[in-house]
């Protein structure tokens, strides 16, 4: 037990998993989130849990005090439905990233990790379902996802310049569609894997035998299981890789194929109703893992079928028994 490791967004989906993993390794962890504790996805009793709004500088100073390492995962974000309708809110996360960088540097932290996103990639590379996997260089010339993607790209550059100007050790991962248990599955902020699990479960529990799919279902994505995300995050933070790097699965599927996987897990076959005017983002996106394999000798390996089974089982338990606790 040495200096504290800080996880901002510790009450969120990825942050909650990261906190538990770090504690399991014997680290002293401070989890920080602006949500009230009873709204955190996971609360680890062995962590110091602080409720702070990190858009303000003074809150970031409190969060960073005594920290040796900071994992900055805090952001106002959600799935495609949320980020397309809340561009200004997404961009305001730049306040969190700016103030956390300032506070972390002034606190003398050894490492600062920033969770960026595949949404930084230029739209011109993502116009076909049969997409060429996105390599790190494809972020420039810049034309990222409006709002959310621009904020992430700007914050990447801040990390780069803190490294160049102040020798402050920053690390940046471009996450590709993270999913798993203990995350949002309803309310408008959920991403496709959780949303599809919820819809299949609802159809099964109600007996409706129908599902609504956003778009024509032929848009393609890769999805990374949260355990791979947590491992890759720490592997990158411990490394000497200073440029942004993809942390994502390279297993490309259509949304229709994703629905079929969940139907198979649920042992149902549903009538598919396509909502063609719904938000659906880019036509195709996949992770090129050449660089992470070259630099870190690793890439996410959990198959989509295995990860979705774990995700489906957890969401099913929440929907069938809503009073299940998030704690522990």
Catalytic site residues? 148
SS3 of 312, please?
Answer: helix
What is the C-alpha to C-alpha distance for residues 108 and 119, in angstroms, rounded to an integer? 30
If 0-12 CB within 10 Å is exposed, 13-18 middle and 19+ buried, where does residue 52 land? middle
What is the C-alpha to C-alpha distance for residues 10 and 25, in angstroms, rounded to an integer? 17
Pair of tokens at residue 204: 């099964």
Residue in the block written with tokens 């979705």: 308
- For residue 240, the Cα-to-chain-centroid distance in whole angstroms is 22
Pair of tokens at residue 159: 């990390």
What is the C-alpha to C-alpha distance for residues 225 and 160, in angstroms, rounded to an integer? 27
Classify residue 173 by its DSSP letter: E
SS3 of 81, please?
Answer: helix
What is the C-alpha to C-alpha distance for residues 22 and 234, in angstroms, rounded to an integer? 9
If 0-12 CB within 10 Å is exposed, 13-18 middle and 19+ buried, where does residue 310 land? middle
- CB distance 34 to 53 below 8 Å: yes
What is the C-alpha to C-alpha distance for residues 56 and 12, in angstroms, rounded to an integer? 19
């Amino acid at each position: 037990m040495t200096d504290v490791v800080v996880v901002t967004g510790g009450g969120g989906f990825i942050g909650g998993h990261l906190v538990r993993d770090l504690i399991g390794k014997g680290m002293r962890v401070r989890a920080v989130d602006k949500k009230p504790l009873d709204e955190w996805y996971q609360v680890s009793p062995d962590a110091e849990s602080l409720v702070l709004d990190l858009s303000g500088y003074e809150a970031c100073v409190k969060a960073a005090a005594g920290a040796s390492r900071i994992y900055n995962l805090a952001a106002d974000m959600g799935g495609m439905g949320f980020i397309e309708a809340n561009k200004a809110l997404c961009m305001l996360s730049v306040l969190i990233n700016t103030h956390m960088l300032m506070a972390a540097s002034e606190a003398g932290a050894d490492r600062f990790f920033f969770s960026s996103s595949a949404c930084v990639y230029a739209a011109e590379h993502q116009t076909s379902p049969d997409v060429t996997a996105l390599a790190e260089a494809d972020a420039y010339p810049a034309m990222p996802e409006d709002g959310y993607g621009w904020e992430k790209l700007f914050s990447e550059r801040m990390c780069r310049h803190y490294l160049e100007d102040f020798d402050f050790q920053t690390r940046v991962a471009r996450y590709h569609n993270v999913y798993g248990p203990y995350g949002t599955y309803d309310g408008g902020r959920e991403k496709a894997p959780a949303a599809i699990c919820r819809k299949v479960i609802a159809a099964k529990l109600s007996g409706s035998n129908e599902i609504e799919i956003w778009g024509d279902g032929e848009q393609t994505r890769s999805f990374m299981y949260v355990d791979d995300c947590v491992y890759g995050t720490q592997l990158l933070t411990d490394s000497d890789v200073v440029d942004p790097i993809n942390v994502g699965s390279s297993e490309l599927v259509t949304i229709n194929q994703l629905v079929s996987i969940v139907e198979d897990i649920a042992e149902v076959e549903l009538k598919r109703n396509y909502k063609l005017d719904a938000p659906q983002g880019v036509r195709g996106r996949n992770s090129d893992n050449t660089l992470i394999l070259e630099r870190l000798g690793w890439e996410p390996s959990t198959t989509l079928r295995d990860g979705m089974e774990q995700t489906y089982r957890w969401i099913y338990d929440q929907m069938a028994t809503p009073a299940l606790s998030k704690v522990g």
